[in-house]
């Protein structure tokens, strides 16, 4: 087993991802309408976005004091707004940032846990199950509480395919269970399902 710290492992993956994203961004930038392409674009800097009408988006750079510096307008027939997500905290199991964490705390980990239980088998839970199983340093348990299959909003075929991939990767998938209790001590968490 490697003693390579988690932060360094995440940084290697992040660097790889950023290089791939830069390449994709350059290809997308080339394909914008100004460059004779099909009209796809990407927003690389922080902006405030505001719809002026159903077909026009006003982009104001973050920190622009008067709102006129660097303002751009983007027109399109259709827009996809992918604004991210926020973790949901459960009052019965308070997040401490050490033993019970959310996706906001993942990059703060300095070592890989021996085992990790991921509560929730939606998109974010499946993403983290994939990440931890790919590193191969943690036993991963994916708990799909009160649901018969993971990714419940997707087609059954997709759900079944993803679950089979998880099983092949060594992820322990627990469908249709209920977390009855969780106890935290100085070094461990005990979960009763």
* Inter-residue contact 147 to 175 (CB < 8 Å): yes
Query: In the structure, what pLDDT confidence band is assigned to residue 148 with cuts at 50, 70 and 90?
Result: very high
Residue 171: pLDDT over 90? yes
pTM over 0.75: no
pLDDT of amino acid 1: 47
Rounded CA-CA distance 38/79 in Å is: 14
Closest CA relative to residue 169, chosen from 147, 144, 148, 139: 139
pLDDT of amino acid 13: 66
The distance in angstroms from the start CA to the end CA of the chain is 30
Task: Give residue-wise pLDDT tens across range 71-96.
Answer: 888 888 887 776 667 788 888 888 88
* Helix or strand run (H / E) with residue 134: helix 123-135
Most confidently modeled range among 15-19, 45-49, 164-168, 189-193: 164-168
98-108 average pLDDT score: 84
* Inter-axis angle of helices 6-30 and 123-135, nearest 10: 120
26 alpha carbon, distance to own chain's centre: 23
């Amino acid at each position: 087993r490697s003693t390579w710290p988690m932060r360094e492992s995440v940084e290697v993956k992040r660097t790889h991802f950023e290089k791939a994203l830069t390449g994709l961004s350059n290809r997308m930038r080339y394909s914008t309408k100004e460059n004779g392409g099909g009209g796809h674009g990407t927003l690389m800097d922080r902006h405030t976005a505001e719809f002026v009408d159903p077909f026009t988006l006003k982009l104001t750079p973050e920190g622009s004091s008067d709102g006129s510096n660097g303002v751009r307008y983007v027109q399109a027939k259709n827009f996809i707004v992918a604004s991210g997500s926020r973790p949901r905290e459960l009052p019965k199991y308070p997040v401490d940032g050490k033993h019970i964490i959310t996706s906001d705390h993942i990059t703060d980990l300095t070592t890989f846990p021996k085992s990790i239980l991921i509560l929730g088998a939606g998109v974010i839970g499946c993403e983290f199950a994939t990440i931890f199983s790919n590193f191969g340093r943690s036993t991963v348990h994916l708990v799909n509480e009160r649901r018969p299959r993971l990714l419940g909003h997707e087609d059954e075929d997709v759900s079944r395919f993803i679950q089979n991939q998880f099983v092949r990767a060594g992820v322990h998938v627990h469908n249709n269970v209920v977390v009855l209790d969780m106890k935290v001590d100085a070094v461990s968490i005990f979960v009763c399902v």
